[in-house]
Every structure is written in C-alpha cells, then in structure tokens.
Structure 1
Amino acid sequence: MIGAGGVGSVAVHKMAMNPGIFSDIHLASRTKSKCDAIAESVKQRTGVAIATYAIDADDVPATTALIEQIQPRLVVNLALPYQDLAIMDACLATGVDYLDTANYEPLDEAKFEYKWQWAYHDRFKEKGIMALLGSGFDPGVTSVFAMWLKKHKLKTIRTLDILDCNGGDHGQAFATNFNPEINIREVTAPARHWENGDFVETPAMANKVEFDFEGVGPKNMYLMYHEELESLARFIPEMERGRFWMTFGDEYIKHLTVLQNVGMTRIDPVIYNGQEIIPLQFLKAVLPEPASLGPTTKGKTNIGDIATGEALDGSGEKTFYIKNICDHEDAYAETGNQAVSYTTGVPAMIGAAMVLTGAWKGEGVFNIEQFDPDPFMDMLNQHGLPWSVEELPGPVAF
C-alpha cells in the first residue's frame, strides 16, 4: 500500500484484521515516520507486524524498484490522485495488479476525469494484469449500491441521486475531513450533473437543498461534480439524470468563501519572497491534518443512493433509497480514525479482497461498477459498513 493518511491507516488496520486474505502487508509513503506510527497502532490493536518504507510515488523507477523488492500480488494506491498514473506505470513495469480510490487529476488543473486511466486499458490487458479504479465510498460503494439496485430491484435506473452527508463535528473553526487540497479543489470546481446524454455545468455551490438525513437530521446539501457520475453514465447507459450532493455546514461555507475571495484556494503559483508557492498547498500546510481529527469528531455520516426506474418485477416505476450510516466515535474506537477516513478505507480493503480472492477478475482497467456487486455488498455488512435499503413512495422532489 502507498499512502499513510487517515484512509491508508483504516485500510491497513482492516487488512490486518483479515490475515486469511492479507498474508503480508507493506506500507510505503513519502514520510516513513507516518508509516511507522500506523504500523505501531496496527501491532497494538491486532498483533500483526507491517513492514514500512519511504517512497516518492512520483518517482516511477523508485516505485518500480520497491515493488520488485517486495514482490506483492497487489499494489493499493491510497496516495494523492496526482500520483495515479505514475503508480500505474510502476505496476505495468512489474506486472502487478493495481487498485485506487480516486481517479487521476492533473496537479495544475482541478479536472476529475477517467480518460487518462481508461487509456491504460490495452496496456494492462496485454500485460495480463488488472487495475480496479474507484474502490472507496464515493466513488466506490455508491457505484456498487447503484449496480446492486439494478441487479436486485430495478430493471432500469432512470434517475440517480448520490447523497453524501457528514454530520460530524470536530470542534475546529475550519478543517476538512480528508486531504484539504483535494477537498477544496472538489468543492470550488464548477458543479456538473448528467442529464439527457450530456453533462450540464452550473456554478460551484449554486444549488442548495435541505434534506433530512437519518441519524443526522436536516442538513443543507449542495450539487457538486464527483467522478463516479462519469463512470455511472457509461455503465448505466439508460440513465437520464445523475446528480451528486454533499452537505456542508454554514461555518464551512463562510470560511471557504473568504478563502476563495482572498485567493487562498488558487492552484496556480504565486511569487512570495522570491519563492514560488501554490496558495492552496500553503493553506493545506496550516490546516489541521485530517488524521488528527479522530479523537474530537462526534456524530455520524450518512451516504447513499436514491434511484428511480422500472421495477424488475414489472410493477411499474419504483424508487429505492440505499445507504450506510457510520458513527465517527465507533470508527475511531476500532481504527483510531474518524468516519470519513473509515468509510473510504474499509471499501479499499474490500476491493483489494475482491481482487486477491479472485471474486473479481479481469485483464485491463476496470471501474468498480463492472463487477458483481453481491460479494462486495456482503463484505460491507461483515466489516463495519452495514447498509439498508427501503422503497420510497415516489421519486425525490429536489
């Protein structure tokens, strides 16, 4: 595994809890001390020893050499999305399967697209290896939720809304629950949703709706672009409309607005004291490390899909709501990390288990939607992310 943030910590802890699948775990990051701290926590909680390494994942020859040294069955990329292609190149060079949780984006442009990774399909196929893309929660579980509904409840999905609510309170004036740089790039990018065969773009944070989330209560959620819409539109070709919504508190919006207005969310370089700096990267350096928020975060997350379409049983159009609710304090008690890291790290472990056990097989580059959802859904219930599904009276009115 490459990446020693909160998500990497959760994934390694959960892998260590399943030694029958994960016989040997190796953790690498640019900062070895972070790996060592995770390894110590895993040792104390599970008794499993993990080897740790320092690696610059942008350095393809160095990553290739480390993979050749370890000889793993699978490389799990939980580093930054900017590094996806470099790690995929190292996997191609060594003939090792690859998995990630977030699609590639260029460092100098907030552009979330799968085209760069999909372009690797033929090379991975020729090498006889597999790349599994987007095995987090969103993307990841939300995509599997949609395919489970299509397999078991709906013949077609006409409309799909993904609702991501973090009802946690960490007590900070302003902090992000995952990598601040990625979080703020996502939030400040123009919103896009799928409608009638194309993406419709609207200004960032321009569309707001209140929704009453089970376990959390009423929250304002905002229309955003998220990468799973691109792959879901590809693998659910009949989908007429697909949207992604995420909740943000008023304080978060207020702080983010000020930071945008003064230029602190810029991703282009500026000169300060004769040095070139990226304002957003500087902001990331002064904000709380997301992994540090675990001890103080309380409340729940609620993430799920609402899908409307033609019922499998021929009974006409129906609407289903499928979701997971995760408690921040329970996640911290188990792995030492808050629920936003937990809800991404656990699916990373499950996706890795799908590959290693052979439940999901393929040669080439695949999105998580392309495989049978049932074994993945079973493991969600077994490993801390139980889900529920209910039929709603009709389509959602927002």
Structure 2
Amino acid sequence: MGKCMIIGCGGVAGVAITKCCQNSEVFEEIMIASRTKSKCDALKAKLEGTTKTKIQTAQVDADNVDELVALINEFQPDVVLNLALPYQDLTIMDACLITKTHYVDTANYEPLDTAKFEYKWQWAYREKFKEAGICALLGSGFDPGVTGVFSAYAQKHYFDEINYIDILDCNGGDHGYPFATNFNPEINIREVTANGSYWENGEWVETEPMEIKREYDFAQVGKKDMYLLHHEELESLGLNIKGIKRIRFFMTFGQSYITHLKCLENVGMTSIEPIEFEGKKIVPLQFLKAVLPDPASLGPRTVGKTNIGCIFQGIKDGKEKTYYVYNVCDHQECYKEVGSQAISYTTGVPAMIGAMLVMNGQWNQPGVWNMEEFDPDPFMEALNKWGLPWVEDFNPTLVD
C-alpha cells in the first residue's frame, strides 16, 4: 500500500519499525534513517526474515534540511515518521514541506537551550502545510497521542460537554537500578524539573516542580504516588475539547527516584547551562545522560506494568457523568514481543498507527493537526488490534 521513511533508531523507533513490519500490508516498504547507520542495519538484519516489508537503511543528519530533502527525494515515501529528538522536528517539517511529503511525530518541538513543551513553533506551520496540500500529525505517541484520541472518543460517544480531564500516567515497572530513566534522560529530567502547570478556565496555573502530589490506586498496579507535571497535550486539548474547565496531568514516581533527582539537581547535574570543564564546554545534563544506563538496556531487566489513561467528568443529556479509559501494558510481555520495555512500546505502537492512518487516508487532510482533531474510532480499533487494548470504567475513583 505504501512507503514510510522512519527517522531515528532508538527505543521507540525500534518498536514502531517492528510494528510496521508486522503490518506489511500497509507498510510495503520502509526506510530506516539515522545518524548512526550501523544501528539501522542491525535492526534491518533482525527483522528481515520475519516480514514481507522491504527494508532499506540510510545515514542522515536530522539537523540538516538539505540532507533530509535529498534522502526523501531518493526514497519518495508517502509519509515521514519522525522518531528522532524533539529538537529536530522543525528541520524535518521543513524537509517535508520542500518535498510535499506527509509528516508524523510523537513529541512537540523543543528548543535545545530551554525546556519548553509547547506547540507554537509547529502550529506556525499550519498555513504552509495547507498550501502544500500535505498533512502533519503531531504527537502520535501515548501521552501526547493516545490521550488525545481517548479524549476525542469520550467526547464523540459519551459526553455533550467535558468539563474536567485528569491524565494519569503510571509506571509500576522496576528495573533494579537505584536511578535510571525509562526514556531519553535529557527529555525525562527536563520534563520533571520544569515547573508544573495545569489548564484551568482558559489559562495556565503554574506550580513548583513536583509541588502537587496525590495517591491513586491503579488497576493491575496498585497504589502509587503521582505528581502534577506540565505536559504538552494540555495545551491542545484545552482548545479542542468543548466545555473544558480544567485539565491536569499526573505521573507516578517512587521515593527513590525523587531523592536521587533532588540530589542531582542540588549539585547542578540537571542543568542545561554549559559549563567549562578541562578546557571544554559541557552541558551537565548531557554528561549525566552519558553516565546513566541507556533506556534501551532496561528492557530485559524491567518487570511490572504501566497504566496510562484519562478520567473525564462532564455532562450527558443534562446529567453529570464520569468515564475513565486506560491501557495496561506489561514490561516483560513487551520485551518478549519486540525486545523493548513498555515505555517505548506504548509510544512506538501509536506512532505506527498514526503513520498508517495518514498513509491510508483515514486521517489525512492538509494542515497541521493534533490527534484529537480527527475521528478517534479507527485509531481506537487499531489500538486493540496492535497491542494496546483499552479498558473502560464508568464509575472511576476521582482525583481530588
């Protein structure tokens, strides 16, 4: 049916690429392109005997628009799936504009020098993509991504208006290290050490990092402490879901993680300001990333489950209604299937689904779009089919 070029070859990309190969009726040909071609070649070698999908590999610098354009022109994909770093979103979008190629990513653009999780840079491309007649689908991971699809599904099927959304992201996994991050340490630590915020009555309410804490009893995981963080999908959901009064995002962290993080922060290791060291400029957070375990290495040793979902409160036929939809994913089962832990799996599967829906035309109109702006039903169906089945609860425990 089509060709997809996948940029990046880290943990999430490994899952998305494996899933594309399982879905070879849609993904007839893929190209895996990354700065380190040897990684792409190793993945190709691992997958080649297991799939009908034709796989090519290439070396590319995702910061270089000319290189990207040349590669897109050579391979002629129907869609580019960007699984590189969020710092590279805009160069890849520029290359897609020049070549008139559809674009999908999993995380919003971030400038290198400041921890900013917002869509304004990518939303600025709306008119250009519309004029070029191509589609850009933003944030096709789990959160953001599936959380937006869950919201659109709730709005379509269960509510006349949704007043409150709480997004709960629980990782009940244990990797056995005193301290490690489940995805790119740089992004993870920037996210957690930034001020928290939530959307209420049309504006942002800012909090200190990790200031707001709640306990929640998660299905199949148990009771966990969770903390209010800022998260980019709050921004788009606040605009696209009607009736919204408040949206919050909570993520679970164990006490050991918090203690280590506090200590690293206190000694300056989480800073993104460059410092002089032995005649060279180094960024402390990038150095910390180099000494921490690679998230991709956590797969074989991580046990337990994740539980990610959304609790909605609103009105249907004049009556108050609550609804909770969530997915539970098992770290070890993910590792058996695709050689990765559940954090990469829960992002990689929706990345494949987003690319599929853009490619097959079900989610494809010119412009720049967030996930909740399209019909949620085909995506929800695909989640059940491709490894992220969801559960509904019409009488959930609410977060105070």
Contact 2:28 2:52 in 1 (8 A): no
Shift of 1:383: 0.5
CA displacement, residues 163-210 of structure 1 (integer Å, 9 cap, x when unaligned): 000001111111111111000000000001001110000000011111
**2:300 is equivalent to residue 298 of structure 1:** no
The DSSP-based 3-state class of the residue aligned with 2:187 is helix
**2:356 is equivalent to residue 345 of structure 1:** no
1:1-398 equivalences under 5 Å are 1-46=6-51, 48-311=53-316, 314=317, 316-392=319-395, 396-398=398-400
Equivalent residue letter for 1:96: T
User: Residue 315 and residue 390 in structure 1: after superposition, are their counterparts in 2 closer, same or farther (change >3 A)?
Assistant: farther
Separation (CA, whole Å) in 2 of partners of 1:214 and 1:63: 44
User: Residue 286 and residue 45 in structure 1: after superposition, are their counterparts in 2 closer, same or farther (change >3 A)?
Assistant: farther
Separation (CA, whole Å) in 2 of partners of 1:192 and 1:262: 25
Equivalent residue letter for 1:344: T
Shift of 1:298: 0.7
Shift of 1:48: 4.4
Shift of 1:71: 0.6
**In structure 1, what is the equivalent of residue 3 of structure 2?**
none
Contact 1:82 1:104 in 2 (8 A): yes
CA displacement, residues 246-296 of structure 1 (integer Å, 9 cap, x when unaligned): 001111111111110000100111110110111111111111111111111
Contact 1:42 1:49 in 2 (8 A): no
Separation (CA, whole Å) in 2 of partners of 1:40 and 1:216: 36
Separation (CA, whole Å) in 2 of partners of 1:82 and 1:66: 20
The DSSP-based 3-state class of the residue aligned with 1:285 is helix
Separation (CA, whole Å) in 2 of partners of 1:125 and 1:47: 34
Q: What is the TM-score when the length of structure 2 is the normalising length? A: 0.97
Separation (CA, whole Å) in 1 of partners of 2:27 and 2:292: 34
Contact 2:28 2:53 in 1 (8 A): no
Shift of 1:225: 0.4
Alignment length (residue pairs) = 395
Structure 1 unmatched runs, 5+: none
The DSSP-based 3-state class of the residue aligned with 1:8 is helix
Equivalent residue letter for 2:344: S
Separation (CA, whole Å) in 1 of partners of 2:291 and 2:108: 26
Shift of 1:34: 1.5
Separation (CA, whole Å) in 1 of partners of 2:30 and 2:177: 34
Q: What is the TM-score when the length of structure 1 is the normalising length? A: 0.97
Shift of 1:217: 0.6
The DSSP-based 3-state class of the residue aligned with 1:385 is coil
Q: Give the superposed CA RMSD.
A: 1.1
CA displacement, residues 220-268 of structure 1 (integer Å, 9 cap, x when unaligned): 0000000000000010142000000000111111111111000010011
CA displacement, residues 314-346 of structure 1 (integer Å, 9 cap, x when unaligned): 160011110000001111111111000000000
User: Residue 91 and residue 61 in structure 1: after superposition, are their counterparts in 2 closer, same or farther (change >3 A)?
Assistant: same
Separation (CA, whole Å) in 2 of partners of 1:44 and 1:309: 50
Contact 2:29 2:53 in 1 (8 A): no
The DSSP-based 3-state class of the residue aligned with 1:84 is helix
Separation (CA, whole Å) in 2 of partners of 1:260 and 1:359: 45
The DSSP-based 3-state class of the residue aligned with 1:41 is helix
Separation (CA, whole Å) in 1 of partners of 2:75 and 2:138: 22
Shift of 1:83: 0.3
Shift of 1:305: 0.2
Separation (CA, whole Å) in 2 of partners of 1:315 and 1:296: 50
Contact 1:39 1:49 in 2 (8 A): no
Shift of 1:40: 2.2
Q: Percent identical across equivalent pairs?
A: 60
Structure 2 unmatched runs, 5+: 1-5
Separation (CA, whole Å) in 2 of partners of 1:217 and 1:277: 41
Separation (CA, whole Å) in 2 of partners of 1:242 and 1:388: 21
Equivalent residue letter for 2:391: S
Contact 2:81 2:103 in 1 (8 A): yes
Separation (CA, whole Å) in 1 of partners of 2:61 and 2:220: 41
Separation (CA, whole Å) in 2 of partners of 1:196 and 1:397: 18
Separation (CA, whole Å) in 2 of partners of 1:36 and 1:203: 44
Equivalent residue letter for 1:32: K
Shift of 1:37: 2.1
Contact 2:216 2:399 in 1 (8 A): no
Contact 1:42 1:48 in 2 (8 A): no
Contact 1:145 1:322 in 2 (8 A): yes
